[in-house]
Structure 1
């Protein structure tokens, strides 16, 4: 039985870079571009919501203007919780870059786990940028710090679907 760096038991069906290198090929580069795509999407959403709050503030005698400081964090958390917590387990940027977030333990990847993932991601990014990418260069599965803490793994979607189909068909344990 394999364990993560905190001693928690990992799923037995997790892919290995040695057995399935196509799952991890270019994952760090794809993550960077997915992040940039997501930033553009969230930036547009924040702009629209802020403009709406500003316009509505005129009609509500300024009451909605009090919501403007919390628009950015709520948009980020909601975007990641809705996209990562969905059955696709990927943001719009991740879908465009053909990557998916997979839990490394038996717990499902739901909205709560996605929200925890994004909060730890933004905390680690704000403190350690760009060093969080260096961690991915030395871990076998290209996991970043927040992936290891939360218990997730980022892999390429299309090869991963073939991997799980082969795994289900053969019933083998990696």
Structure 2
């Protein structure tokens, strides 16, 4: 097709070269087209792309297209369940249901309403088993708590944990000074 168009343009260029000296009647017809065709003699060639398979059926006859040939993908993306490719399961823990009636689960929260439903022999603070003994039923600020702790564990801490004992005494000293000097004491007006 491109060759045919190129031959036509060449022939028009040859014809117009004879009419260059012709009268103005012939020149006025399409002089710009003829002159441009005469000056550009080279033929236009279209961009040609090679097609490997002209039809889809031909491509299907050759079989499936090989991709990543020789590469073995170890990551499985086919599903959520563990796969048995190599005769062993992937490391997923075996499901073992919990024993709902084990003592720690069955008796959880049994003493929550002991003060309301009980006979009054047990105080709710005595049931706080996860709280240290020296803090069960305690009510007060940090200074009072540290004094109580030092009273109960002072000798043992001095021997076995001297740094903790020293830090605790420093904190008691600081809190004592702060409470005496920086806070309001509401008992002065009673004296």
TM value normalised by structure 2: 0.16
More strand by share: 1
The answer to which structure, 1 or 2, has the higher relative contact order (CA under 8 A, 6+ apart) is 1
Higher helix share: 1
Under a length normalisation based on structure 1, what TM-score does the superposition of the two structures give?
0.17
Q: Which has the larger radius of gyration?
A: 2
